DNA sequence: TAGATTGTTAATCGATTAACAATC
DNA sequence: TAGATTGTTAATCGATTAACAATC
């Protein structure tokens, strides 16, 4: 089979690709040029057979007896994920969480750029976070359209989550990352990803009481 | 079978419990007293059969023909997760991300309390985040021991991640949440949970190019 | 060639879902 | 009693892993 004969790729595969990419980029920085699935498995904690199987969903990128050329594999994964070109995204909520996201180092490397930040707190509007000036919520639709933004991050207080989500979706955003604990609804055709830090914390508590050894979660 | 005949609980189950809890608490706040697996499934996006099956791992908490008493179920899940009592935790890194975590509203409700914050930036040491005074890294071991802290959150720059992790583990921390993109190693008996915001962003990019409809991730 | 490691098939494992008898 | 919904078993589905022939 040859590349991009993409059938139905399991969620799990897509979730692991960024982990591979992360390690591969590190290796490349260290000057390593080739890696075997065994070694990559060691570094990511993923079974080598699974790594090979994951990759075959998209083609065959390795050399038998040799391994994978890191440069090639990085490019391929970036292409699969779409991180081989720039993505602008909008951040709603300029609080601590929003600032943390906007200031995150690793973004650039993956072509991810916050190019618009919105807040409804007049003390924040006009301030800068990095290079970006915080705009009023009133400008959300216009700015998103002008910049043709497809990705939105919701980092607002819970009570505003659904409203903000609705506005982002209506303004043409296709992927929404929800950093609030609220279960928000999105229209058909919009991909929603929820990250609730508290829920993550909670679930790890379980391993505190029952100490069934190491659980790398 | 009766409660806590706990065999081997699948990861997935433990990950879904906080989601159930979240909704159940909301329902309770709204004054609802009973919920069926069907309704809970609607609200969480989880298959009702799965909810019932998940719960039977821990006992049988419902009434046939009626559903689940929300108060009872909340208590049971809190007990399973261990969020029925207070957990102190330590936060290393008092930047934006750290501040966001420490300031998170929903924590209290689940008995989660940041009681120690550390940073090595002298401009931050002595400052307050909420009620907590930021301490020097030098005090980490002593404070952790004094407070008997079991959970640590790593929200420092990548280059410090492994060192901080090592120190937390050595100081008796049993659960470590790593908010850096670095793959850190933990000793036997320590549970590690990684959350890399950038990796999450990356994996959602995939759904931007291929628009295979709605993927609630 | 001998050794290594992929790509891929087949076997295993586990998790999800459907179905339904038990029972409130 | 009739209706609803659980708890649980059995069927399905999919993902993980092992194994190995292909081949660098």
Total structural domains within chain A: 2
Q: What is the pLDDT of residue A217?
A: 42
Residue B2 has pLDDT above 50, yes or no: no
Any domain includes A162 = yes
Q: Same domain, yes or no, for A158 and A66?
A: no
Q: Same domain, yes or no, for A189 and A155?
A: yes
Structure tokens at A160: 């505003």
Q: Same domain, yes or no, for A147 and A63?
A: no
pTM greater than 0.85 (yes/no): yes
Q: What is the pLDDT of residue A201?
A: 87
Which residue lies nearest D9, CA-to-C1' measured?
B53
CA distance B171 to B154: 14
Q: Which residues of chain A have pLDDT under 70?
A: 1-7, 210-217
Residue B8 has pLDDT above 90, yes or no: no
Q: Same domain, yes or no, for B73 and B96?
A: no
Q: What is the pLDDT of residue A3?
A: 33
Distance in angstroms, CA of A159 to C1' of C13? 43
Any domain includes A212 = no
Number of H helices, E strands in chain B: 8, 10
- DSSP reduced 3-state for B21: helix
Q: Residues contacting strand C at CB < 7 A? A: A 1, 35-38, 48-49, 52-53, 55-56, 60-68; B 10-13, 46-47, 49-50, 52-53, 63-66
Place of tokens 């906007």: A102
A43 interaction partners in chain B (CB closer than 8 Å): 183
Residue where a domain terminates, one of A81, A115, A148: A81
Distance in angstroms, CA of B56 to C1' of D5? 15
Structure tokens at A44: 């990511």
Higher pLDDT, residue B211 or B176: B176
Radius of gyration of chain B from its Cα atoms, rounded to whole angstroms: 20
Nearest chain B CA: its distance from A165 CA (Å): 14
Please tell me the least confidently modeled range out of A4-8, A207-211, B6-10, B131-135: A4-8
Residue where a domain terminates, one of B52, B81, B110: B81
The DSSP bridge partners found for residue B177 are B153, B193
Q: Same domain, yes or no, for A92 and A195?
A: yes
b (16+ CB within 10 A) / e for B177-211: bbbbbbbbebeeebbbbbbbbbbbbbbbbbbeeee
Q: Same domain, yes or no, for B73 and B21?
A: yes
Q: Same domain, yes or no, for A93 and A72?
A: no
| Enclosing domain of residue B25 | 2-81
pLDDT tens-digit readout, B137-177: 999 999 999 999 999 999 999 999 999 999 999 999 999 99
CA distance B11 to B84: 20
Q: What is the pLDDT of residue B71?
A: 96
Q: What is the pLDDT of residue B9?
A: 84
Contact present, B116 and B149 (Cβ < 8 Å): yes
What's the CATH code of the domain at A36? Answer: 1.10.10.10
Radius of gyration of chain A from its Cα atoms, rounded to whole angstroms: 20
* A150: Cα separation from own chain's centroid: 13
Most confident of B7-16, B102-111, B117-126: B117-126
Segment holding B191, helix H or strand E: strand B191-194
Mutation to test the A interface, candidates B109, B198, B200, B213, most A Cβ within 10 Å: B198
């Amino acid at each position: 089979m040859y590349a991009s004969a993409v059938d139905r790729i399991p969620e799990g595969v897509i979730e692991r690709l960024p982990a591979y990419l992360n390690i591969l980029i590190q290796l490349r920085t260290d000057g390593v040029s080739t890696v075997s699935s065994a070694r990559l498995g060691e570094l990511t904690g993923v079974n080598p057979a699974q790594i090979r199987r994951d990759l075959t969903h998209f083609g065959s990128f390795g050399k038998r007896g040799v391994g994978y050329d890191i440069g090639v594999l990085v490019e391929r994964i970036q292409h699969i994920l779409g991180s081989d070109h720039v993505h602008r995204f909008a951040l709603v909520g300029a609080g601590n969480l929003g600032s943390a996201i906007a200031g995150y180092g690793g973004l650039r490397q993956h072509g991810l750029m916050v190019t618009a930040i919105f807040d409804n707190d007049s003390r924040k509007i006009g301030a800068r976070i990095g290079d970006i000036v915080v705009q009023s919520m009133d400008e959300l639709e216009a700015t998103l359209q002008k910049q043709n933004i497809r990705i939105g991050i919701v980092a607002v207080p819970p009570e505003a989550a659904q409203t903000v989500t609705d506005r982002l979706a209506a303004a043409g955003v296709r992927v929404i990352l929800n950093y609030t604990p609220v279960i928000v609804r999105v229209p058909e055709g919009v991909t929603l990803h929820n990250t609730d830090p508290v829920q993550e914390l909670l679930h790890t508590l379980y391993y505190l009481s029952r100490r069934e050894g190491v659980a790398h979660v």
